[in-house]
A and B are shown apart, each in its own frame.
Chain A
Amino acid sequence: MRKRRTDQQDPTPLLPLSEQAFHVLMALVDKDHHGYGLMREIRERTSGTVTIGAGTLYGCLKRLLAAELIEEVRDRPAPELDDERRRYYRLTAFGARVAAAEARRLEVLVREARRKRLLDQNPGRGLRPRPA
């Protein structure tokens, strides 16, 4: 029988997450979504710089479901308000911890980039000249 993830389980073996997986988890932090809702939320949040196609999105959802980072929601809107082919997804407690761990990992990287002044107006301004 498959062992369910517990609150004590360490999220670090699952890091780093793919960019798409992280976007999906972030979109599910606030509310449950169906596939098209996820796609729209990601596009709007990133001002259209990140777009995920239907096949890629469901492949990503399949892997997140297998890792128990998300789950399929059984309670759905009334059939007259929604298409029954739509599937809704929700972030699990373990998924939230993995997303938080990934955010912390990225924060450390950004802090380091800032310390190296990569985020300045003119990155590389203070570089020492390389020997010829």
Chain B
Amino acid sequence: MSGVQRAATILLCFYPKDFRREYGAAIVQLVCDQRRALGDASAYHRLSFWMSVVLDTLRAAFVEHRSAIQLRRVSTATVYAFIGTLLVLAAVANVLVDVVAVKLSMGIPAVLLTVAAGTSGAGLIVRSRRATRPK
């Protein structure tokens, strides 16, 4: 591995893991191509080349991390919606079973659990909707 390749590979650690896995090799190759095109440049040109590579890495890594965080927010919202729906369904099913069985024999703990499941489920669904709403 050449020095240029090694330096470009080290800079990859600034990017999010998924982006690094997908485009890391291509980015290293591109930096190597750029450095090769520079040829036998003076120390000043080589320094300004590496400065621009580092600055671009920091800028691009910031953008990619931000977009990864935004994606994660959406997936958290999906989990909230899923768990919320499950809780609401469980509460509704609990009530239905009692009504169909015409027992209406839910004890106080069962009633409290059903109400808690229903309200927390509804709360999670509302929260997930808020998280996915465009700002």
Contacts and interface: CB of A to CB of B under 8 A. Distances in A.
A58 B56 CA distance: 11
A79 interface: no
Interface residues of A, number: 17
Given A53-B59, A55-B15, 16 more contacts: A35-B27, A36-B33, A51-B52, A53-B56, A53-B60, A54-B31, A54-B34, A55-B57, A56-B56, A56-B60, A58-B23, A58-B26, A58-B30, A62-B23, A85-B26, A86-B26
B115 to A, nearest CB: 39
Contacts of B19: 58-59, 62
Nearest to B57: A55
Interface in A26-73: 35-36, 39, 51, 53-59, 61-62
A36 B34 CA distance: 8
Interface in B28-69: 28-31, 33-34, 52-53, 55-57, 59-61, 63-64
